[in-house]
Amino acid sequence: MIPLQFITAFLMLFMGFYAFLYKRNLLKLILALDVIDSGIHLLLISFGYRLEDGTLPTAPIYTGYETLKGTPMVGPIPQALVLTSIVIGVCVLALATALTINAYRHYGSLDINKLRRLRG
Amino acid sequence: MMLPFLIIIPLLGAFSMPIMSLLGEKARNAWAILVSALTLGVASKVFYDVWSTRQLVVYTLGANTPLGKGVNFPIRILWEVDLFGALIALTIAFVGFLAVLYSIEYMKHDTGLDKYYTLILTLELGMLGIVITGDLFNFYVFLEIMSIASYALVAFRNDTWEGIEAGIKYMFVGSLASSFILLGIALLYGQYGTLTMSYLAVKIAQNPTLVGRVALGLLMGGLLFKSGAVPVHMWLSDAHPAAPSSISAMLSGLVIKAGGIYALTRIAFSIYATSINIKTVGWLVIFFGCLTLIVGNAMAVVQTDMKRLFAFSSVGQIGYILLGIGIGLAAYGTKIGDIALAGAIYHTVNHALMKALLFLTAGAVLHEAGTKNLNELSGIAKKMPFTSFAFLVGAAAIVGLPPLNGFASKWLIYESSALYNPFLAAIAVAGTAFCTAAYIRVIFTFFGAPSEAVENAKEPGKAMIVPMLVLITAIIIMGLLPWQINDRIMLPTVDMLKDQLHYVIAVVGGA
Amino acid sequence: MFGYWDALYFIYVLLIGLIISYLVFKWAERSSMGTRRTGNGTKIFLSGEDEDNVVPQFEHLKGYFTGRHTMWGLIRGINRMFIAFRREHTGLLSDYVAYLFITVAIILGVLIIWG
């Protein structure tokens, strides 16, 4: 079957890259950072989904009701990695928003083409 | 074991800093100095252990055999230190301690200093974590800790437009580069199923695929950004002048080495060494190194802002290190490759000391005279003789004058590149010519006739003189014993770095 | 080990250099001080201009000199390269991101095609 999750993840990545190159508003750049991070997280989580003997896997929680060779589980390691990465993404976004507010106070506009005093 | 204390002590110090600053200013300064001095002690003990026994130190965060008695392989986050990591950790702790000591007096007129000391200890913590880790995702977490602390520190003076603009530019493109690194790590996980560096090396050697090479390309792109190679060096020339000078010393001397050069070398030598066409990767790194040498040093000649000149000079020196690593990769296994790699590692340590001294000197001048425009700063040597002498020692060391420490590492890189391909040696010497021109302009400005702006300048206080004195002493002593340092420290480092077999066996245990 | 380095040879060369620079200093003092014995005019000028010697129809620089005009031969000789480099450092964020993408594209291209 078509691996829709990978296609969606890469589409999100490309949307984020396009927005980073061609948009000028600082808030749109912050949103582009967020979309890129979400794309990579989707890619990581979907690497844990593996089909064993044709049965679909379930969430990796031991409930005590499993039979011996019954239900396979989704890989839990990428979920731990993604949780850590979401926290890092939140931290970066918070700092970026704070810097954007400060930049508006100094420059009076949110246009990235106006922040050009440091050059050469 | 002493290894977890290398992370515990700065972490505890950083998070208890706001509480300590409630007790007053002197308590906060004393706590910062105490924590960084203890970190320096632990780092030197770890370095001495690894150096005297020449064995890898492996530390598992958790039980050693979690899967039971049959399987010998710890499926955990590991820390694995060899001589290269221990050497860079010692440099980080040393320059970090001097930067904290310097900023006690330099930042006296700023507010919000408890957040400043928290951030500087977090920056040191992130860098120490990168150089001792043996697991790729742990490396990414520590890389982000270091990067976020440095974004906040560059924009620390948020009442000036320069700090905010440099902080925004550094932050946005830096986060994008970190996303590239995370994408590379995600692709490696998807293909091979593990992220421990040693086990990944085994799996890649058994099954090299296209996805592995794409992941290497993405990782290299992100890490070349973090180390300041051309053409992605432009954040460096904006961010390093805008930060406070003690942070500039740490950024320019340590962050681009620990987060960029160390990670690139570790991934190229210990994970991917024999599974890819190592000549191609070597020539790619040599190409970027040559570009960096020419553009970085040439742009330093035409600057009028003193700290921006030093930042471009940093970019140029990273070109030497990349050239050395590239030749070490392309001539893997031969004596020329060993010498080039020893030169690159030696230049990493040397440049950390030299650039820290130069930025501390620039901070002293800025603190006293109030301007960093070279057109107004003429004749500062009459009013601040010790600072000018420190600048003279630092500039002579970077150019490569013999009794100082820059000479030995540059000589190794010149010789190995001349033996490998003479065209590269010509580019390296052209880079040194531009570098000399840039520093002669600054020296000529300092030793001229005094102008109006430097009328009120005097020598800075004791807390700013002592770090410069310690660095001058270290540079002169390291310069008087170059070949002993090379034979006893650098060449064994190269041997342990190339020894991918022992790196893997220390963890996987011969399975 | 490649190369040969001995501290004593460098001390010899340093001493000879100090003696030569002292002789040049004495020669410059003799030829530039003229009849002046006190004041600002007794200093030996590094930039080729005598402070009290006003030549008519030429611009007479007073005050302090910075290093702005040293190494002017190097800069003016390859001025087109410096102009090209300064033009590339635009300061726009989109240029920084574009260079990052170009670098990653070059690295991926080389790694996929060769090696």
Q: How far apart are the first and last CA of chain B?
A: 26
- How far apart are the C-alpha atoms of C86 and A120, rounded to whole Å? 5
Q: Is B465 within a domain? A: yes
C58 pLDDT tier (thresholds 50, 70, 90): confident
Subunit contact A78:B179, Cβ cutoff 8 A: no
- Which of B279, B309, B329, B444 to probe by mutation at the C interface, max C CB count within 10 Å? B444
B213-258 pLDDT tens trace: 999 999 999 999 999 998 999 999 999 999 999 999 999 999 999 9
Subunit contact C89:A120, Cβ cutoff 8 A: yes
What is the length of chain A? 120
* Shortest distance, CA B373 to any CA of chain A (angstroms): 14
Q: Is B295 within a domain? A: yes
Residues of B in contact with A9 (CB under 8 A): none
C3 pLDDT tier (thresholds 50, 70, 90): very low
Domain count for chain B:
1
Mean pLDDT by 10 residues, chain B (511 residues): 90 93 91 95 94 87 68 76 92 95 91 92 95 92 95 92 92 95 94 89 89 94 93 92 92 92 92 86 94 94 92 95 94 90 93 95 91 85 89 93 87 92 93 94 85 83 92 91 84 83 76 47
Contact by Cβ (8 Å): B142, B131: no
Q: Is B392 within a domain? A: yes
What range defines the domain where residue B376 resides?
285-480
**H/E run at residue B79:** strand B78-81
pLDDT for position B378: 84
Contact by Cβ (8 Å): B253, B359: yes
C71 pLDDT tier (thresholds 50, 70, 90): confident
pLDDT for position C47: 53
pLDDT for position A65: 67
Q: Is B433 within a domain? A: yes
Tokens representing B179 are: 């996303």
**H/E run at residue B353:** helix B335-369
* Shortest distance, CA C103 to any CA of chain A (angstroms): 15
C1 pLDDT tier (thresholds 50, 70, 90): very low
A92-118 pLDDT tens trace: 999 999 999 999 999 999 999 888 888
Is some CB atom of chain C closer than 8 A to the CB atom of B482? yes
pLDDT for position C61: 66
- Residue B434's nearest CA partner among B332, B298, B319 is B298
Whether the pLDDT of residue C39 is over 90: the answer is no
Subunit contact C92:A29, Cβ cutoff 8 A: no
pLDDT for position B352: 94
Q: Is B411 within a domain? A: yes
Residues of C in contact with A100 (CB under 8 A): none
Task: Count contacts between A and C (CB, < 8 Å).
Answer: 26
pLDDT for position B84: 92
Q: What is the pTM of this model?
A: 0.92
pLDDT for position C62: 67
CB neighbours of A19 closer than 8 A, spacing ≥ 6? A28, A29, A31, A32, A35
Measured torsion, CA atoms of residues B180, B181, B187, B191, in degrees rounded to the nearest 10: 160
**CA distances from residue A79 to A42, A75, A84, B316 in whole angstroms, order as listed:** 10, 8, 9, 41
**Residue owning tokens 């990414």:** B140
A13-66 pLDDT tens trace: 999 999 999 999 999 999 999 999 999 999 999 998 877 766 777 777 777 666
- Which of C64, C89, C97 to probe by mutation at the B interface, max B CB count within 10 Å? C64
CA B141 to chain centroid: 18
Subunit contact A113:C92, Cβ cutoff 8 A: yes
Structure letter (DSSP) for residue B86: H
Q: What percent of chain C has pLDDT over 90?
A: 35
pLDDT for position B511: 47
